[in-house]
Structure 1
Amino acid sequence: MGLIALGINHKTASVQLREKVAFLPDTLTQALQAACDSTGVSELAILSTCNRTEFYGFGDNSQAVLSWLSQQRHLSLHELKSSVYVYEEQDALRHLMRVASGLDSMVLGEPQIFGQVKVAYQHAQQAGTLGQKLDRVFQQTFSAVKRVRTETAIGANPVSIGFAAVQLAKQIFSDFQQTKALLVGAGEMISLVAKHLKEQGVQQITIANRSLERAENLAQELGGAKVVLLSDLADVLSQADIVISCTGSQLPVIGKGMVERALKKRRYRPMAMIDIAVPRDIEPEVDDLDDVYLYTVDDLESTIEENRRARQQAAQQAEQLIEQCAAQFLHEQRAQAAQGLVTAYRQQADEFRVAELAKAQQALAQGANPHEILERLSRSLMNKLVHSPSVQLKQAAAHNEHEKLKWAAQLLGLNSKDN
């Protein structure tokens, strides 16, 4: 039984289908155990995120896993087959490494998927479906991801507007963690910005939004933030070192006059203002003011495009690294698989040795000539060791199996030109 990988992702299936086959964390243990019992797969892990659901395991029948999934989710096999991809052996290992490294993600090089792969590994451990072979596969994958992250620049450059906005603000302030941030809006983009700010250590965050409830929900997700109505924006603007705005307003919500008054209250301490809304939230004239660093989504897009190109170059290096890691691991696994055969062969040879030695010792005890005993011992041991290979070589020659003969010569350490 070999390594298999089977699944669907954002490239092969609609969000509606991905939702149907997704597994909630609290159902994974039961699902893993049920899948192993029903399919004959000896070891199994399930990776389930918003963009993919994938099965990794050891077995010889990926069709059984697919059938189990269709039954569990009440989906037709035809519907699943049109969206499912299946990989085996080195291709399966390479796919897992690419997924864990972010090379197969919607956002190239994103780091979150690595944590999700680790969670899948932990769930398999808890369910008792992670055996030695699959454990080695995951450990090798973790090692490959570490190399990709340390030896390439795949994750060095931000490629999302939200993250790029935070990174830009971080470059302006040397004491970034001590800054006060004002987020205008509470939609998806601002939610991502807020989380990036938190990850970068910014603790003082204020959220201004038309709907107080939506702002409070975001504040709760962050573990605490100040919340104000958008109508109170002028009152809190002077307290902000960083302003990042993204509302759905058709007209600017921050004007030049509002910023001038805020600067006066701040005694003209610098402000970074990043407008990622389209149409713009901040009047362009604000850029005329001293002590204000104003950036728009166009400024970020040019940076992001450069970073995308940089990530593409890094991705090529990462692909080469993964290819090396996958090939090396499978080479080691195949060599290890031969260890049992080597052990059995050595044991057989040792049994021959012990048997012949016992005969020799018995003959010596009976007073036989030592020279004759040694001659008989060596000849008998040689005959036993070469008997089986000799028979196989004669059969190969009789059937014109030239490749087998050539391989046998290499195996026996013989010079092929002598055969």
Structure 2
Amino acid sequence: MTNYNISKHSSFYTVGLSYLKADAEVRGMFSLDAAAKDALLQQAQSDGIEGLLLISTCNRTELHGFAQHPYQLIKLLCDHTNGNVEAFQKVAYIYKNNEAITHLFRVGTGLDSQILGDFEIISQIKQGFYHSKQYGLTNHFLERLCNAVIQASKRIKNETDISSGATSVAFASVQYILKNVPDISEKNILLFGTGKIGRNTCENLVKHTDNKHITLINRTRDKAEKIAGKFNLVVKDYGELQTEIRKTDVLVVATGAQSPTINKSLLYCRKPLLILDLSIPKNVANDVAELEGVKVLHLDALSQMTDETLEKRRKHVPKAEEIIAEVQRDFTNWLETRKFAPVIKALKKKLKTMKDEELDFQSKKLGDFNAEQVDLVSNRIIHKITRHFANHLKHADIDSDESLQLIKEVFQLEEGLQ
């Protein structure tokens, strides 16, 4: 495996957990809100981490960065979430170098999403990169890698139908409501919170139900009014939440709170109530489902309620994987070039020094010596020699580390070249 060190002792790692092994409760323990992300990046900066990218969504939390040991990144995550190392180890994955790069490509292109072909994650990667940049935690490697993942994602969108058909948690939510709530256009719908999936669900409900009875409540009324204006919703104050819940038939919870905001004490149901919890961590307390007439569905359950659209999408996975392999190969070639560029540069410098010394000697020895012409020819020869070395190092069948060491020894190049 190629070792993509950017300093003498660090490697590139991915540490994280996702919906594949971690349920909503555990993912909630390790989720990072905006303040936690800032604090984590600040600590990473203080700890001397050379590059770090954070991804925290309802489906996964991941740290991609350089460290001497992956525990450095795991500790950062545990220090700034409600999780601990023991809980993390039960559900976590750790990838190094090539495997970490491959994993980020699969995540960023929707192949590792809870719903295949969901490209929402790419905007999270972009935001994560710019966020890290503010703390000086990006480098050429991370920038080039993120750009390569974005490029692969665009190509897969354009060259395959892996994201065709309406399939998302928001879409699944609306489909469930349409199938299970009779006369939905006449029912009262309450959206609590302004999370993205909740907003998308709301927008789809407006589109598909012709419902004029949708109310929005958010802790910050200003934010609620901006969203409500777009969808033509009624806005109520946070203090009216309990009253509005009593009136509603469908409650969509999409807050960003770190602990449940809907519990038994808020509910007094005289009629059936459907609650969709589209939050990570869960924002509806577990005991709410015990109430008579109340049905609670979390986004993990909704993610599994997909139709034949997903089967159609799976047919396009091989083509998507071909595109990823191609873009990743280009990225790996760039990395290899970057790895041996300092040695080639030092070799060129050494050859030029040898040339200058020889030209100086010959110019004193020969009366009709044409220094300009000899210099031109010598530089072309040096260029051809170094290009041959570079082409040799790029060849897949050779051990580039061994070849680099040999070049350094033969030409007595400076020690300390990385």
Q: TM-score range by the shorter chain?
A: 0.5 to 0.7
Q: How many residue pairs end up in the alignment?
A: 299
For 2:137 and 2:319, the matched residues in 1 are separated by 33
Q: Does 1:154 align with 2:157?
A: no
Which digits, 9 at most, give the CA deviation of each residue in 1:66-103, with x for residues without a partner?
A: 13333444654232222221112222122112212222
Contact 1:45 1:56 (C-alpha < 8 Å) held by counterparts? yes
Tell me the equivalent position of 2:189: 186
Instruction: Confirm or deny that 1:7 pairs with 2:12.
Output: no
Which residue does 2:356 correspond to in 1? 354
Secondary structure at the counterpart of residue 53 of structure 1: strand
Higher helix share: 1
* Cα distance per residue 1:297-336 (max 9 Å; x no partner): xxxxxx9533111111122321222122222211221123
Shift in CA distance, 73/116, structure 1 to aligned 2, threshold 3 Å: closer
Distance 2:78 2:54 in 1: 15
1:9 maps to amino acid: S
Structure 1 Cα separation of the partners of residues 53 and 12 of structure 2? 11
Is residue 91 of structure 2 the alignment partner of residue 83 of structure 1? yes
- 2:213 alignment partner in structure 1: 208
Judge conservation of contact 2:54–2:128 (CA < 8 Å) in 1.
yes
CA, structure 1 residues 98+207, in 2 after alignment: closer, same or farther (shift >3 Å)? farther
**Partner Cα separation in structure 2 for residue 195 and residue 31 of structure 1:** 34
Indicate if the aligned counterparts of 1:182 and 1:205 stay in contact, CA closer than 8 A. yes
Indicate the structure whose relative CO is greater, using CA pairs within 8 Å and at least 6 residues apart.
Answer: 2
Identity of aligned residues (%): 23
Matches within 5 A, 1:388-407: none
> Per the alignment, do residues 223 and 61 of structure 1 end up closer, same or farther by CA in structure 2, a change over 3 Å counting?
same
How far apart in 1 are the matches of 2:225 and 2:208? Answer: 13
Q: 1:304 to 1:22 in 2, by over 3 A?
A: closer
> Rg larger in 1 or in 2?
1
Look up the match of 1:318: 320
> How far off is 1:27 after superposition?
3.5
Report the Cα distance in structure 2 between the residues aligned to 1:219 and 1:351, rounded to whole angstroms.
Answer: 69
Equivalent residue of 1:16, what SS? helix
Measured in 2, the distance between the counterparts of 1:140 and 1:190 equals 31
SS in 1 for 2:15: strand
The unaligned stretches of length 5 or more in structure 1 are 168-180, 234-247, 251-302, 390-402, 413-419
Matched, 1:37 2:56: no
Q: 1:123 to 1:324 in 2, by over 3 A?
A: same
Matched ranges for 1:43-62 at <5 A: 43-62=51-70
Q: Contact 1:48–1:54 (CA<8 Å) still a contact in 2?
A: yes
On the 8 A contact 2:31/2:57 being kept in 1, the answer is yes
Structure 2: state its 5+ residue gaps. 6-10, 176-183, 192-196, 236-243, 250-269, 273-304, 390-397, 408-418
Q: Which moved more, 1:8-17 or 1:150-159?
A: 8-17
Post-superposition CA distance 1:134-186 (Å, at most 9, x none): 1111111111111111111111112358637989xxxxxxxxxxxxx947442
Contact 1:100 1:145 in 2 (8 A): yes
Closer/same/farther in 2, CA of residues 190 and 51 from structure 1, 3 Å limit: closer
TM score, norm. by length of structure 1: 0.59
Distance 2:335 2:141 in 1: 9
Distance apart, 1:208 and its partner CA: 3.1
CA–CA separation in structure 2 for the residues paired with 1:206 and 1:15: 30
The equivalent residue for 2:333 is: 331
Aligned partner of 2:40: which letter? A
Contact 2:228/2:234 (CA < 8 Å) preserved in 1? no
TM-score w.r.t. length of structure 2: 0.59
1:214 to partner: Cα distance: 7.0
Question: Contact between 1:186 and 1:207, CA under 8 Å: does it hold in 2?
Answer: no
| Contact preservation (8 Å) 2:40, 2:77 | no
The aligned amino acid for 1:163 is F
